[in-house]
Amino acid sequence: MAAHTQKNNKPRKPGGKESSQPLIIAKTPEFVRDVMGSGAGAGSGEFHVCRHLRRGEYQGRDFLDRMSGKVNEDIECLDEVELSKRAAGDGAAGRGRKRKRLRRKMRM
């Protein structure tokens, strides 16, 4: 089997929904111009328009949450790196002092 196929024999991407696709967010319009009038079916049409707008708004919020989470993770990682560098530097300085003391003792 070279590729996975669906019912209509189109090749599909491996990995399912959890693939690493970029999140595409459409700008939510401020004013909706294509809302149906008071004719038949106006209720369902307005529902679909509102549902579309709400979905875009939720995607935008989700994107912002993801980005803020990544920024927080980056900040935490940089803090950990800085702490480890400090700890390594302190240890090296302590060992250097110890070597100096030993050298002084050897000279005496």
User: What is the residue type of 79?
Assistant: D
- CA dist 67 to 48, 55, 71, 88, Å? 29, 18, 6, 32
Instruction: Please report the pLDDT score of residue 107 as a whole number.
Output: 87
Reported as a single tens digit per residue, the pLDDT across 66-83 is 999 999 999 999 999 998
Of residues 73 and 11, more confidently modeled: 73
Label residue 20 by pLDDT band (50, 70, 90): low
Instruction: Please report the pLDDT score of residue 39 as a whole number.
Output: 55
Instruction: Please report the pLDDT score of residue 1 as a whole number.
Output: 45
CB 25 within 8 A of CB 60: yes
Q: Is the pLDDT score of 99 beyond 70?
A: yes
